[in-house]
Amino acid sequence: MAIDIFLTSIYGSLGQGLLYALVAIGIFMSLRVMKKPDLTVEGTFAFGSVIAMTMLNGGAHYATTLIVAPIGGSAAGLATALMHTKLKIDGIISGLLVTMALFSLNLFVMGGSTISAPLESFIFAPSREWLVALGMQPFNALLWSYIIVGAITLIVVITALYFIYSTAFGLSIRATGDNEYMACSNGVNTDSRKITSLVISNAITGLAGALVAQQQSGANVNSGVGVLIIGLAALVIGEVITPKNVSMLTRLLFIVLGSFIYFSCISLVIVSGLLSPDWTRLLTAILALGALCVPKLREIYLKKRIEKVAK
Amino acid sequence: MIALKNVSQIFDNGIEKNQVLNSINLDIPEGQFVTVIGGNGAGKSTLFNVISGNLRPTSGSIFIDGKDVLRKGRSARAAMVACVFQDPNSGVCPDLTIAENMALAYARGKRRGLQWAIRKRDLAIFAEKLAEFGLGLENMLRKKASLLSGGQRQVVTLLMATLQKPKLLLLDEHTAALDPRIAKQVMSITKRLVNEQKITTIMISHNMSDAITYGDRLLMLDSGEIVMDVSGEEKSALTPADLITMFES
């Protein structure tokens, strides 16, 4: 009995972890590759959610939402990027301005403050029905359908990103984030690289919004609130466990693992009854803070050990 | 060949005007190695920034191979002019591997499309070029550039600058941050790379004996003007003491 609840919460965390890993990957692209935080994330995520739900509500096929939501997201990213590169507005402020604007745009798109669509229209429906037909319990089938959809999406996104970053164009994006001056003096048009990077990362975030909205069976104006820190927590937890000097592909895969660990921690604390779900956000903040502190603590510990050996 | 015609640079902050370059005229034939000396504020760095495209001159024009380059964008200029700066951190991307850094420079002036950033045969070329220095850098191709020492970084940056032969190589006190022994080593590598490919080069130096030893021609800048321009025997006859006397006058 207890083991059942435990397993269910692990499956649930795996599904959520895979879907939110997309957000963490988007944050990784801006915060780690470009070395600049992008605060458009929450706006883009909500925009993706709202676009997908409105389309499904209107009878569209889920496959079309997988195209339109990322396009919406990339448009938001483009807006931020243009403000930042062409109008020379600080990157953080640009992101906040776009998020602000998207709030109204979301209300307009939905035609209200919340929206939902029939369960059968969601991307998870085919795999869920298939699993039920195989004899799985309906609830478990639903959890596993999240895992299947999340895994397939991640395989596609991570493969695409890995290829992009391995090309001459991708290398110039990474160089722009790492040493803009150097990239520029090697003939890289750094503005175009910043724009491209924000467009791609926000397309991924928009896609994440579309999928999570279907997992939560609806979207509302506040869909994006808190997503940035959840993604950040997943990212930094993944980075804490990532070995040193690994390839871009490994780094991306460890972010997915980090996302799973984050959701497992949250769900185990809540399922075990230690805390009520009201405390989720506080727990998230503490987890993110803890993971952010680990590199520093590790450094101090290593220094002490070296001193000890020296004595 | 590079030519500067009446190049002036005036910094105007609205309160006072500061003329940093005063109508500079300069012709550098292809393959010449020019050293530039001058006190602080003489306009050396501004001259470099104007040539490299970081700054647009207030007036005048700059020609490379007979073409007016001021009309071209910054990235087009970067394809022609390679730079190595004083700060060893400025020339490499610390989080990229040495091979990735070199691949980035190897693509200078080419379209950066969706082809692989590093191909097998590129790696072989990089390793071969690095091996020539005898510093063991060829075994570090897969390591991050942040692991390199200052001297190693300057060597890698120099190699990167010359991997695709530039029309013009600008060296801005690129050995100033290194200890004397390493600085000497980097200077001899510089000389070799420049001579091998006959690269047109301008080098700023604070080291008087370097300025005399290296290069075919020596310029002295003062208050934004070229106050001395010597080459050949006249240049080799100079001593550091001569230059210091001229500095003080």
Output the tens digit of pLDDT for each of chain A's 311 residues. 578 888 899 999 999 999 999 999 999 999 999 999 999 999 999 999 999 999 999 999 999 999 999 999 999 999 999 999 999 999 999 999 999 999 999 999 999 999 999 999 999 999 999 999 999 999 999 999 999 999 999 999 999 999 999 999 999 999 999 999 999 989 999 999 999 999 999 999 999 999 999 999 999 999 999 999 999 999 999 999 999 888 999 999 999 999 999 999 999 999 888 888 899 999 999 999 999 999 889 889 988 888 888 77
Q: How many Å lie between the alpha carbon of A124 and the closest alpha carbon of chain B?
A: 33
CA distance A105 to B145: 45
From B49, which residue of chain A is nearest by alpha-carbon distance? A185
* B75–A184 C-beta distance less than 8 A: yes
Residues in B closer than 8 angstroms to A248, CB to CB, are none
Q: Nearest by CB to B104, from A164, A181, A186: name it.
A: A186
Q: Residue B164: which domain range?
A: 2-248
Are A15 and A141 in contact, with CB atoms under 8 Å apart? Answer: no
Q: How many Å lie between the alpha carbon of B104 and the closest alpha carbon of chain A?
A: 7
| B27: nearest Cα among B182, B226, B165 | B226
The long-range contacts involving A119-123, CB below 8 angstroms and separated by at least 24 positions, are A119/A217, A121/A56, A121/A59, A121/A61, A121/A62, A122/A56, A122/A62, A122/A214, A122/A217, A123/A62, A123/A63, A123/A65, A123/A66, A123/A149, A123/A211, A123/A214
Selected for mutation to probe chain A from B95, B98, B104 (highest A CB count within 10 Å) is: B104
Q: Nearest by CB to A172, from B52, B82, B104: name it.
A: B104
Domain residue spans of chain A: 2-224
Using a CB–CB cut-off of 8 Å, the residues of A that contact B are 164, 166-172, 174-175, 178-179, 181-189, 245
**Which pLDDT score, from 0 to 100, does residue A288 have?**
92
Q: For A309, list phi and psi in degrees, rounded to 5.
A: -65, -40
B156-204 pLDDT tens trace = 999 999 999 999 999 999 999 888 988 999 999 999 999 999 999 999 9
Q: How many Å lie between the alpha carbon of A261 and the closest alpha carbon of chain B?
A: 27
CA distance A59 to A53: 10
pLDDT band at B246 (very low <50, low <70, confident <90, very high): confident
CA distance A257 to A242: 10
* B109–A178 C-beta distance less than 8 A: no
B57-109 pLDDT tens trace = 999 999 999 888 888 877 788 889 999 999 999 999 999 999 999 999 999 98
CA distance A291 to A286: 9
Q: For A105, list phi and psi in degrees, rounded to 5.
A: -60, -40
B193-239 pLDDT tens trace = 999 999 999 999 988 888 888 989 999 999 899 999 998 888 888 88
**Which pLDDT score, from 0 to 100, does residue A118 have?**
93
DSSP secondary structure string for all residues of A15-37: HHHHHHHHHHHHHIIIIIIS-S-
Are A208 and A202 in contact, with CB atoms under 8 Å apart? Answer: no
From A188, which residue of chain B is nearest by alpha-carbon distance? B75
Report the 3 state secondary structure along B7-50. Answer: EEEEEECCCCEEEEEEEEEEEECCCCEEEEECCCCCCHHHHHHH
**Which pLDDT score, from 0 to 100, does residue A40 have?**
97
Q: Hey, which residues does B18 pair with through a beta bridge?
A: B11
Q: Nearest by CB to A184, from B78, B89, B103: name it.
A: B78
Neighbouring CB atoms inside 10 A of B239's CB total: 11
Neighbouring CB atoms inside 10 A of A34's CB total: 22
Amino acid identity at A132: V
**Which pLDDT score, from 0 to 100, does residue B208 have?**
87
ipTM: 0.89
CA distance A138 to B162: 65
How is residue B110 written in tokens? 């080419």
Number of structural domains chain B divides into: 1
Q: How many Å lie between the alpha carbon of B55 and the closest alpha carbon of chain A?
A: 13
Counting one residue from chain A and one from chain B, the pairs whose CB atoms sit within 8 A come to 85
| B104: nearest Cα among A170, A247, A161, A248 | A170
Residue A60: partners with Cβ closer than 8 Å, 6 or more residues away: none
**Which pLDDT score, from 0 to 100, does residue B71 have?**
83
Chain center to CA of A189 = 28
The answer to whether residue B39 scores a pLDDT higher than 80 is: yes
The answer to whether residue B24 scores a pLDDT higher than 80 is: yes
- The number of CA neighbours under 13 Å toward the Cβ of A303 is 6
**Which pLDDT score, from 0 to 100, does residue B127 have?**
95
Q: Which CATH number fits the domain that encloses residue B48?
A: 3.40.50.300
